[in-house]
Amino acid sequence: MKKIVVIPGDGIGKEVIPATLHILQGLDLPFEYVYAEAGDECFEKYGTPLPEETLELCKESDAILFGAVGETAADVIVKLRQELDLFANVRPAKSMRGVKCLYDNVDLVVVRENTECLYKGYEFDVGDSAVAMRVITRKGCERIVKFAFEFAKREGRKKVTALHKANVLKKTCGLFKRTFYEIARNYDIEANDYYIDAGCLYLVTKPWIFDVIVTTNLFGDIVSDLTAGLVGGLGLAPSANIGERYALFEPVHGSAPDIAGKGIANPTATILSACMMLRHLGFSEVAEKIEKALKKVIAEGKTTPDLGGNLKTMEFAEEVLKACREV
């Protein structure tokens, strides 16, 4: 029995998580679901957005399924990544039939370092100025680059591209770029690099040249939202946060307070995140079944309003579960 800690969080997290669990529970998996609180509403109730009890439950889990968080994101999801040492953030972007997007042939994965860079939060007031410290370590570079190449090898992908700004940030990005090519020599996989600004240009104009992208924390956060935009938006963007011991899976989108409570949120990103969780736990066949069912439902036009359909969140989940039983 696998212990899954479920954190719905705020806003539409309380809608997309139940929709996703409706599918998982309908497939009778050997999972025990344990609920925990975090986020803005949790802060209002307890005076902390991430209670110690929640953190301890996460440390006892086989995986964490996270919904969404509002203004307390830095104190919740960023803290969880650091406390659990979830150093690799994996964000796939793949075109899907039935979804209007810029290109129909995008199939890439952003691997983002998840614990360093400016997101360490080392910021200071110096007179009437503000200063932030960017932290890039050799250890951090080595393990995220190795992760990217191992991921590419395992998934049968052909190329890993590093994005950086080593021409300007000579020390921090310079270390990242040097480490990238040192690690790349150990793999029979094509390796290349672009400056982050040029890489963003190429992602918009010719995204098919990318396969696996590896980059630092802030750049990865920005680039992965860009790649989500290429394939239909954040409502379709899943992610995994992976460490040596723990793993947390979450949709890339936020709490979307403008539509929260209306029952129209698209749970696709959360469902795909759950599929990433299933593969991590060794249930690849189930993940494949859910993904095929999801794509079938979307291709048939049975979608939520953001994709032009009229289904409610739970109605969409029910259609996916129904299709799972037919696949």
pLDDT tens per residue, range 44-71: 999 999 999 999 999 999 999 999 999 9
The mean pLDDT value for 13-28 works out to 96
The answer to whether residue 54 is domain-embedded is yes
User: Could you tell me if 37 and 63 lie in one domain?
Assistant: yes
Q: Give me the helix-helix angle, 172-184 and 138-155, nearest 10°.
A: 40
Position 327 pLDDT exceeds 80? no
User: Could you tell me if 112 and 223 lie in one domain?
Assistant: yes
Q: What DSSP character marks residue 133?
A: -
User: Could you tell me if 221 and 326 lie in one domain?
Assistant: no
Please report, for the domain that includes residue 106, its CATH number.
3.40.718.10
Domain with 292, as residue range(s), is: 1-92+237-327
The answer to whether residue 97 is domain-embedded is no
What's the number of domains the chain is made of? 2
User: Could you tell me if 213 and 280 lie in one domain?
Assistant: no
Categorize the per-residue pLDDT at 160 as very low, low, confident or very high, splitting at 50, 70 and 90: very high
Percent of the chain with pLDDT over 90: 94
User: Could you tell me if 118 and 226 lie in one domain?
Assistant: yes
Instruction: Return mean pLDDT, the chain.
Output: 96
User: Could you tell me if 108 and 216 lie in one domain?
Assistant: yes
Rounded to an integer, what distance in angstroms lies between the CA atom of residue 43 and that of residue 129? 30
Half-sphere exposure of 58 (CA within 13 A, CB side): 29
Active site residues: 119, 165, 197, 221, 225
Q: Is 63 in contact with 247 (CB distance < 8 Å)?
A: yes
Q: Which of 72-76, 231-235, 292-296 has the highest mean pLDDT?
A: 292-296
User: Could you tell me if 110 and 223 lie in one domain?
Assistant: yes
Domain boundary among 183, 206, 230: 230
The answer to whether residue 182 is domain-embedded is yes
Q: Among candidates 144, 155, 173, which has minimal Cα distance to 241?
A: 144
Q: What DSSP character marks residue 117?
A: B
Domain boundary among 210, 230, 250: 230
The mean pLDDT value for 6-12 works out to 96
Categorize the per-residue pLDDT at 72 as very low, low, confident or very high, splitting at 50, 70 and 90: very high
Reported pTM: 0.94
User: Could you tell me if 108 and 86 lie in one domain?
Assistant: no
Categorize the per-residue pLDDT at 28 as very low, low, confident or very high, splitting at 50, 70 and 90: confident
